[in-house]
Chains A and B, each alone.
Chain A
Amino acid sequence: MSTLGAITQLLEIVCALLAAPAFLGWVNQCRAWLQNKRAPSVLQPYYGLRKLFHKDVVLAENASSLFRLAPYIVFGTMVAAAAIIPSMGTGLPLSMAADGIALVGLLATARVFLSLAAMDVGTAFGTLGARREMMVGFLAEPALLMVLFVAAMISKTTSLPLIAEGLTTRALGLYPSLAFTAVAFTMVLLAENARIPVDNPATHLELTMIHEAMLLEYSGRHLAMMEWAAALKLFNYACIGFALFIPWGTSTEASGPQGLLLAVPVLFAKLAVAGGGLALIETLSAKLRVFRAPEFLATAFLLAVLGLLVHLLLGD
């Protein structure tokens, strides 16, 4: 294990932890601008987190230990996921431990614990949110896996750093299969992170919400952990997207410390653009009825499979 690798790894985790709320704040700010509203500060999520950490925790009487543990588990899995995604450099020591499929597994673990915790207290909304989350999840997960498969087939490996490296070294060209999967991935990202058109992160209108419904019983530092984890999840997804589709600018073993120095601003530039794009999509689309969400995700799955088939046939 090289020193550079260790530094990259450390930098990545720290960066993810610190930048995730800012990324969320940036998306919200862009969205406010696009909708001609007064934008909150980029730092707004940090203020929210600080406030929540200072508050006391109020627990339901019948809450089990699972309910108390869940925020830490969810947060932990998100940090672990951030550690194996090659957002800045590909020479990550930890990423040897887990490939793309394991990554999907990590994200699924978080989902399971979140849903279990939501049902733990036994309120109607928690259960409703958990059910909807599972409905979204069981369609989004295969789509995400398909997206990973296409990338894996193109670069003949399931390891994310190798996929990213493989793509940077290939000749520039048109890859219809990657284009299809990129669209599919974006759709999965929207669904998994409770964004419009599947869910609305800004509303607490009971009948339509998914993610917020699961967090209704949380308060204080637990809620803070959960919200931080949600921000991390969005950040992670964005980084997976970069690794799969636009990996240029990440540092490799060969590019040395200068590469790493360059990779940090490149990552932030990508995040800035992606955040803007995400805000644009959210502004332009209307929220779907909950029962249309499966159709939305089925389309994502279809696109991913089409990408796979097109790749198999055209052999690009």
Chain B
Amino acid sequence: MSPLSFDLQLLNACAALLLLLSFSMLSQRRIVNLVNLLALQGALLCAATLLVAWRTGQGHLYLSAALTLALKVIGLPLLLHRLIRRLNVYWDAEPVINTSGTMLIGLLVVVFSFGLAQPISALASTATRSTLGIAIAVILLSFLTMITRRKAMSQVVAFLSMENGLFFGAMSATYGMPMVVELGVALDVLVAMLVLGVFFFQIREQFDSLDLHHLESLKEGE
């Protein structure tokens, strides 16, 4: 078995850490820590993008990495931290399913996503293809985080982490999307956060809390 080149090993390490971070997010109940984990995830994503950019010499990936750094490592976490302070939400309530159960489901999710990625990885020509499974796992784990949380803020963090997973997936399958699209997506994410900021204040103004069980009165079929 020929050893992988060092940059690929680093990339794999990044991918593995991303997976680990997703699990930490799944179990983390302090919202402040959740946001920090998100920033860390962004940083890892940025590092991975830089590695790929350096390896393949594709200019637009440097731009994409810079975008990730500005938006996902610095911008959004700062915004979220400010929101947390202003709204005074530090802890999530008890999760919908207990932590061990969630972890077990998480493991199954990882197995599933590896299976899902197998046929695609087999076709990919990029050197980074093996990390695609991890990208899918990150997406699905963020999804799991989202459905097991009660606080709006944690759900949003999970949503952003899903977006990170998508970017990572795009990078490992195809070395990133075309620049136009990436810019558009980044813009959308930014706007989404601003909309959410407004939204959170509206929710709290109305309910004095960001707990989502207030938002469960509209039932299907009534």
For residue B15, which residues in chain A have a CB less than 8 angstroms away from its CB?
176, 310, 314
What are the interface flags for A286-316 relative to B under an 8 Å C-beta threshold, 1 for contact and 0 otherwise? 0000000011001000110110011011111
Known: A180-B16, A313-B130, A314-B131. A306 touches B23 (CB 8 A): yes
Question: With an 8 A cutoff between CB atoms, is B212 at the interface?
Answer: no
Interface locus among B3-11, B52-60, B74-82, B85-93 = B3-11
Determine if B130 and A177 form an interchain contact, defined as CB atoms under 8 angstroms apart.
Answer: no
Question: With an 8 A cutoff between CB atoms, is A97 at the interface?
Answer: no
Question: Which residues of chain B in 164-217 are interfacial with respect to chain A, using CB atoms and an 8 Å cutoff?
Answer: none
What are the interface flags for A164-203 relative to B under an 8 Å C-beta threshold, 1 for contact and 0 otherwise? 0000001101101101100000000000000000000000
CA distance A174 to B6 in the complex (A): 8
Determine if A298 and B103 form an interchain contact, defined as CB atoms under 8 angstroms apart.
Answer: yes
CA distance A310 to B117 in the complex (A): 13
Min C-beta distance of A162 to chain B, whole Å? 16
Min C-beta distance of A75 to chain B, whole Å? 35
Determine if B13 and A174 form an interchain contact, defined as CB atoms under 8 angstroms apart.
Answer: yes
Q: Which A-chain residue is minimally distant from B133 (CB atoms)?
A: A313
Determine if A173 and B110 form an interchain contact, defined as CB atoms under 8 angstroms apart.
Answer: no
CA distance A245 to B3 in the complex (A): 18
CA distance A134 to B100 in the complex (A): 19
For residue A298, which residues in chain B have a CB less than 8 angstroms away from its CB?
100, 103
CA distance A303 to B17 in the complex (A): 11
Q: Which A-chain residue is minimally distant from B5 (CB atoms)?
A: A173
Determine if A302 and B107 form an interchain contact, defined as CB atoms under 8 angstroms apart.
Answer: yes
| Chain A residues with a Cβ closer than 8 Å to the other chain, count | 22
Determine if B107 and A314 form an interchain contact, defined as CB atoms under 8 angstroms apart.
Answer: no
Known: A174-B10, A176-B13, A316-B4. A310 touches B107 (CB 8 A): no
Min C-beta distance of B8 to chain A, whole Å? 9
Q: Which B-chain residue is minimally distant from A316 (CB atoms)?
A: B12
Min C-beta distance of B139 to chain A, whole Å? 15
Determine if B10 and A295 form an interchain contact, defined as CB atoms under 8 angstroms apart.
Answer: no
Min C-beta distance of B65 to chain A, whole Å? 21
Determine if A310 and B19 form an interchain contact, defined as CB atoms under 8 angstroms apart.
Answer: yes
CA distance A168 to B99 in the complex (A): 38
Min C-beta distance of B20 to chain A, whole Å? 7
Known: A174-B10, A176-B12. A313 touches B134 (CB 8 A): yes
Determine if A171 and B3 form an interchain contact, defined as CB atoms under 8 angstroms apart.
Answer: yes
Question: With an 8 A cutoff between CB atoms, is B124 at the interface?
Answer: no
For residue B130, which residues in chain A have a CB less than 8 angstroms away from its CB?
313-315
Known: A176-B17, A302-B107. A309 touches B114 (CB 8 A): yes
For residue B10, which residues in chain A have a CB less than 8 angstroms away from its CB?
174
Q: Which of A173, A177, A295, A306 sits near B4, CB closer than 8 Å?
A: A173
CA distance A312 to B115 in the complex (A): 11
For residue A316, which residues in chain B have a CB less than 8 angstroms away from its CB?
4, 9, 12
For residue B117, which residues in chain A have a CB less than 8 angstroms away from its CB?
313
CA distance A312 to B3 in the complex (A): 16
Question: Which residues of chain A in 121-168 are interfacial with respect to chain B, using CB atoms and an 8 Å cutoff?
Answer: none
For residue B23, which residues in chain A have a CB less than 8 angstroms away from its CB?
302, 306
CA distance A177 to B9 in the complex (A): 11
Q: Please list 9 pairs of residues, one from A and one from B, whose beta carbons are closer than 8 Å in the complex, sorted by A's number.
A: A173-B3, A173-B4, A176-B16, A294-B100, A295-B99, A305-B107, A306-B16, A313-B114, A314-B130
Binding site for A on B (CB under 8 A): 3-4, 6, 9-10, 12-13, 15-17, 19-20, 23, 99-100, 103, 107, 110-111, 114, 117, 130-131, 133-134
- Other CB < 8 Å A-B pairs besides A176-B13, A309-B19, 5 of them? A171-B3, A174-B13, A177-B16, A309-B107, A309-B111
